[in-house]
Amino acid sequence: MTKKDDYFHYNNGEAVTKGAFRISASQVSKFFDSTSQWYHEHLLGEGGFTGNTASNLGTVVHAGIEMFVTEGEVDYEAIDAHINSIKDPEVDTYDILNNYGCMLDVALSYVESNMPDMVEEFVFHELLPGIGVGGSIDARYVAKRRLKDWKTTAAKTAPTKFSRNYWFQQMTYAWVLKQKGITIDYIDLVYITKGEMGRVSEKTGKPLKDYPPTVTVVTEEVTESSLELIGSCLQIIAESVKAWNEQPEIRHLLAQDSRVKTKPKPILFK
């Protein structure tokens, strides 16, 4: 099968954004929920999430699905090699190697009967000159006018509704596509649980209930009011970024953080 190096790396869309500041769809909710942190990460370049065991497990499951859809098979050797190449001591590579196969099996059973037309499609829309919004969509179904996002979870049972951050993320994609003349009617979260098998009670020594990996789909309808809401949110972020760039004296107000307040210029005596 064809080897593709970027199955395991997020597409940041540089060829599409062409140097514009990109508001990441996955970070829209964070702008409102953790404003100071959002500014520190995205406009000051300070820190940010670099990955953990759960996120790396999600990456390889996503990669396996993309391989299956685009090439018709999964390169398990490439996945194993990628996992073994992870050097972060905080990441439990044994846990990933031990769990991704079963999770991928149930995911591919679902994908086989729900084959998307496009996977990892990068979309972007400019909101203001040099400032836009976008990201990489896990799966799009053209005729069904539907988006799906694969979400791995360590929970024994999957969530039954959209979380706030996932709602913002997926609705942002629907909004961006709408600007391109593409209508999306529904957004789905396809939860793939990690499962817990073969556990034994520390107290009794007896086997505990098994929770095999499962696939659960949570659906949200895309309405005009939801698109209007997300569009207004995106415009607020874009205008805030513009103000940050053009009015450094109010940065502490935008970021809700006095630590970024511009220091007054020293008075020079003649």
In this prediction, residue 8 carries a pLDDT of: 86
In this prediction, residue 133 carries a pLDDT of: 98
Q: What is the pTM of this model?
A: 0.90
In this prediction, residue 188 carries a pLDDT of: 98
| 2 assigned to some structural domain | no
| 220 assigned to some structural domain | yes
DSSP 8-state assignment for residue 159: -
Helix (H, G, I), strand (E, B) or coil at 48: coil
In this prediction, residue 12 carries a pLDDT of: 80
pLDDT by position in tens, the chain (length 270):
444 557 888 778 888 898 999 999 999 999 999 999 999 999 998 877 778 999 999 999 999 999 999 999 999 999 999 999 999 999 999 999 999 999 999 999 999 999 999 999 999 999 999 999 999 999 999 999 999 999 999 888 899 999 999 999 999 999 999 999 999 999 999 999 997 756 566 777 776 676 789 999 999 999 999 999 999 999 999 999 999 999 999 999 999 999 988 776 666 665
Distance in angstroms (rounded) separating the CA atoms of residues 172 and 233: 10
Contact 140, 159 (CB under 8 A): no
| 33 assigned to some structural domain | yes
| 15 assigned to some structural domain | no
In this prediction, residue 212 carries a pLDDT of: 83
Q: How many domains does the chain have?
A: 1
Contact 134, 13 (CB under 8 A): yes
| 107 assigned to some structural domain | yes
186-193 and 146-153 strand pairing:
parallel
| 268 assigned to some structural domain | no
In this prediction, residue 265 carries a pLDDT of: 66
| 206 assigned to some structural domain | yes
Structural domain containing residue 50: 26-257
21-24 and 131-141 strand pairing:
parallel
Contact 133, 125 (CB under 8 A): yes
Tokens linked to 202: 């520390």
- Output the domain CATH number for residue 64: 3.90.320
Distance in angstroms (rounded) separating the CA atoms of residues 268 and 190: 62
Distance in angstroms (rounded) separating the CA atoms of residues 208 and 204: 10
Tokens linked to 177: 């596509």
For 130, what's the count of Cα atoms within 13 Å in the CB-facing half-sphere? 6
Calculate helix-pair angle for 76-85, 93-112, nearest 10 degrees. Answer: 150
| 12 assigned to some structural domain | no
Give the number of other CB atoms < 10 A from CB of residue 83: 20
